Amino acid sequence: MTLLHILAFCAFALVVGLLLPRRWRGWLLMAASVGAIYALQPASTIRHLGFWLPTGTLALTVFSWALTAPPEERDRKQTLATGLTLVVLVLLIGALRYAGPLSRVLEARPPTMPPILLALAVVAGLTALTARFFAKKRWLGGAFFAFVLLLFLILKTDPWGQAVSAWLRAWSGQSVDLASALDIGWLGFSYVAFRLLHTLRDSMQDRLPALSLREYLTYVIFFPAFTAGPIDRAERFVKGLREPKALSAGDVWEAGQRIVVGIFKKFVLADSLALISLNAVNAAQVSSAGWTWVLLYAYGFNIYLDFSGYTDVAIGMAKLMGITLPENFDRPYLKPNLTSFWNSWHMTLAQWFRSYYFNPLTRSLRSGKRLPVPVIIIIGQFSTMCLIGLWHGVTWNFLIWGAWHGIGLFIHNRWYEWARTRPSKPNAPLWLQRVGQVGSVLLTFHFVNLGWVWFALPNPELAIQVFGTLFGM
Amino acid sequence: MTVENSATTDVGTTSRRFVRNVLWKALLLFVLLNLFFMSVDIVPWLGKVSAYNSIFPGRVRLPFGEVPERAFNLSPFSLEAMFASHELAAGSKAEDEYRVLVIGDSSVWGFLLRPEDTLTGRINSGGYETRDGRRVRAYNLGYPTTCLLKDVMLLDEAMRYDPDMVVWLVTLEAMPVGKQFASALLQHNPDRARDLIERYDLDLDPQDDRLVDLEWWQRTIWGQRRDVADLVRLQMYGVVWAATGVDQDYPEDYALRKSDLEDDESFIQFMPPQDMDEILAMDVLEAGLSVADGLPVMFVNQPIFVSDGENSDVRYNFNYPRWAYDDYLVWFEKQCTEQAWACVDVWDFVEPAEFTNTAFHMTPKGTALLASYLGDAILELAGSP
């Protein structure tokens, strides 16, 4: 999201929040979100892919809704109206191809009308068939769940991404030799996938509230949170969507502050720190330990300010429209231990993995073979963190980064259990307690920052070289 | 209207009024701040604020970067910022230092060369000492565009740093009158260019279209946001410069200068025969001497690549047809003799194999050879009465 996008979206959000009657908001938010995913999608070197990727997002979302929606929602007139609106919107966006200077709102040039019409017909037909005959079928829900996971895996695995790029290039008559995984930059898919998987899973367990197509679409592609989260839960989001909060002067002030702080964090601080953050280029060239620490700290603050800045903007923007998004960060670098860190860093992602992986896994391990608690904890925490690592990309370094945190969490867990069982000592002096607190914060901060070495660099060899430089070896 | 609706309407009205007031005040502040920025012309002042030479070591060559994220360097237009980031600005001159400013184009700046391998880097590592026991310290003020007026502008700014000698590497490409504005750095410093033209009565048009004059709105914060961002980025890159000592992108592979040449006799827009006195900017060279204000100035006709490939009987290299360069060599020698300038002509001093991607850029070995020659020449000139 560029600064211009943010300013345009904020202006829109302000108009929605202050001027529009509530009954229009649902429609307008959906339409704006559809427009936004096309406007934000970067162009691809593969012809028209920049148009087809957001269209794919819409198709997956509509299909997922058809699988999860209860019959009464599928048969409503509003569903037909939403479907038609969606078709008209996609056609209007496609028509921007012929709109001269107006077409610049899109980075990617749309294809001609016939393939768009054909694609819309196919998606509409498949969705109608599914809604009519296969809705709530567990096997189809499971198969779609697996399909979304597979897509996710392809996008996050470079060789597979490159293979798909080659195939798409061949299909569009372009040079296969130039195929690269970077060709398929599907904006927001990581977050879209998590929202789809959450609703599919909850639907299979009959925990998903009834959502109209319009609500479901808005939830999955809600424009403030589309590119960088937070990953809200459908039932929570839809409450705000149905009953948006009346905007008070205090809300506008709070939202405005949040947006300004977010913009400052992202575009001033994070973007400046990005110039001096540890990366593959400077890591290979830096030779002194002191400066390597500086680059590493810069990376640690850059990633935090960048990500939390976007989150601030998303939360502020949503607030202007009367919708409360969940918090994603809570001063993570000031936490005294790794468990607290993970309760305050990318909180909605951690909660997602807790709900859909860690808790079910540990429940099943407890109910099955009688494994000792430490074994259950190490299996649960280690595998969860490895998966969180792989969510960022299927590479050795992301896996090691996940393992680094998995082991760190396990060690903290054991330490905590051990310390809890020890007899409590008489109260230590206040200064000693403070030193202990500061020491814990510093230790956690440095553990997390050293973990960023794996995250920031492309391969383990370079990361090990940087560790060597950091510690003067 | 129900009580609830009435309350909601009141809240909505208050919010709208609040937003309106905030927007009005923000707009007013924005306008006032821009007017202030426009009237004060704050960028040159901001350029002087630098963490180089205090928190980070000064750069050994002027900031220039085509791929900032790989070079950890960029090309700002503020001369104040450029010099503030240079090692030349690090405190006052030591008593035992003999300060030599080396000006010229990208071959002086050191394209594809690490800082220690540049001409000045090699001169400094040569450990030269003048007769009175001062150690020769050469400063790299080369900048990658071939244009004499740009060299004079940089020298004019550098004179405040108390130099003892100026070494000016020149080549035919920088000399034509029509090329004197062919540098983005110069174009974006129009006041400095005009000042030089007026001060030294140069035969150049002060209203040349290539000089970039800012419109009133371009002097606001909004208009100068790129320049201000460049100043910040220059400071940020100081960290990586300090950490790595890298200030340009060193590609693993690059295209070698052309050996096989076109059968083409043209030099820029000129065809033979030409009167070099007519087409070359002699007055700009003289202006450089005036700027040096009596200091010893050594003109160096820098080495060029001499091809032996296809059509090398027509051209020396991609840049120079033989007729133009031969005429220039005669002209250069004549000026040196008639004006009694200290000149060094090393045009064919370096073997063709020691040139890299252009007819001017040399390998570390070629540069070291030239540095050794110039080191001795500097001592000779410094020792002369």
Cis bond leading into B296, ω under 30°? no
How far does chain A reach from its first CA to its final CA, in angstroms? 41
* DSSP state letter for A425: P
C-alpha distance from B106 to closest chain A C-alpha (Å): 23
Query: pLDDT tens digits, residue range B135-158?
Result: 999 999 999 999 999 999 999 999
Q: Please tell me the predicted confidence (pLDDT) of residue B2.
A: 44
Distance CA B240, CA B247 (A): 9
C-alpha distance from A280 to closest chain B C-alpha (Å): 10
C-alpha distance from B3 to closest chain A C-alpha (Å): 15
Q: Which of A247, A253, A295 sits opposite B243 (nearest CB)?
A: A295
B72 touches chain A (CB under 8 A): yes
The answer to which of B6-10, B187-191, B322-326, B372-376 has the lowest mean pLDDT is B6-10
Mean pLDDT (chain B, rounded): 92
Please give the full DSSP string across B91-130, using - where no structure is assigned. SSPPTTEEEEEEE-SHHHHTTT--GGGSHHHHHHHTT-B-
Q: Which of B11, B22, B244 sits opposite A286 (nearest CB)?
A: B244
Chain A residues with beta carbon closer than 8 angstroms to that of B18: 249, 252-253
Distance CA A92, CA A87 (A): 9
Backbone torsion region of residue B110, taken as left when φ is above 0, otherwise alpha when ψ lies between -120 and 50, otherwise beta: left
ipTM over 0.95: no
Strand B165-170 relative to strand B97-103, pairing = parallel
Contact B148, B174 (CB under 8 A): yes
B365 touches chain A (CB under 8 A): no
Domain boundaries, chain A: 3-234, 249-328, 334-470
Q: Which of A249, A251, A288 sits opposite B243 (nearest CB)?
A: A288
Three-class SS state of B174: helix
Instruction: Check B19 against A285: CB less than 8 A apart.
Output: no
Q: Which two tokens stand for residue B74?
A: 């960029």
Average pLDDT of span A252-256: 90
Q: What is the band of A23 on the pLDDT scale with cuts at 50, 70, 90? A: confident
Q: Please tell me the predicted confidence (pLDDT) of residue A421.
A: 82
Q: Please tell me the predicted confidence (pLDDT) of residue A105.
A: 86
Residue A174 buriedness (CB in 10 A; 0-12 / 13-18 / 19+): middle
Query: pLDDT tens digits, residue range A422-448?
Result: 776 667 788 888 898 999 999 999 999
| C-alpha separations of B186 from B39, B61, B195, B381 in Å | 23, 17, 12, 30
Q: Please tell me the predicted confidence (pLDDT) of residue B12.
A: 62
B12 touches chain A (CB under 8 A): yes
Contact B66, B249 (CB under 8 A): yes
Cis bond leading into B273, ω under 30°? yes
Q: From the CB of residue B15, how many other CB atoms can be counted at a distance below 10 Å?
A: 21
Q: Please tell me the predicted confidence (pLDDT) of residue A352.
A: 94
Distance CA A54, CA A46 (A): 14
Query: pLDDT tens digits, residue range B205-230?
Result: 999 999 999 888 888 888 888 899 99
Chain B residues with beta carbon closer than 8 angstroms to that of A281: 69-70
Rg (CA), chain B: 25
Average pLDDT of span A102-122: 92
C-alpha distance from A48 to closest chain B C-alpha (Å): 29
Q: Which two tokens stand for residue B350?
A: 């370096």
Q: In this model, does residue B98 exceed pLDDT 50?
A: yes
- Best mutation target, A20, A259, A291, to test chain B (most B CBs within 10 A): A291
Phi, psi of B273 (to 5 degrees): -90, 155
Q: In this model, does residue A231 exceed pLDDT 90?
A: yes
- Best mutation target, B239, B241, B250, B252, to test chain A (most A CBs within 10 A): B239
The answer to which of A362-371, B239-248, B282-291 has the lowest mean pLDDT is A362-371
Q: In this model, does residue A33 exceed pLDDT 90?
A: yes
B242 touches chain A (CB under 8 A): yes
Please give the full DSSP string across A226-275, using - where no structure is assigned. TTT-----HHHHHHHHHSPPPPPHHHHHHHHHHHHHHHIIIIIIIHHHHT
CATH number of B90-214+257-383: 3.40.50.1110, 3.40.50.300, 3.40.640.10, 1.10.40.30?
A: 3.40.50.1110
Share of chain A above pLDDT 70, in %: 99
A281 touches chain B (CB under 8 A): yes
Contact B246, A287 (CB under 8 A): no
Q: In this model, does residue B6 exceed pLDDT 70?
A: no
Count of CB pairs separated by less than 8 Å, A with B:
69
Instruction: Check A295 against B240: CB less than 8 A apart.
Output: yes
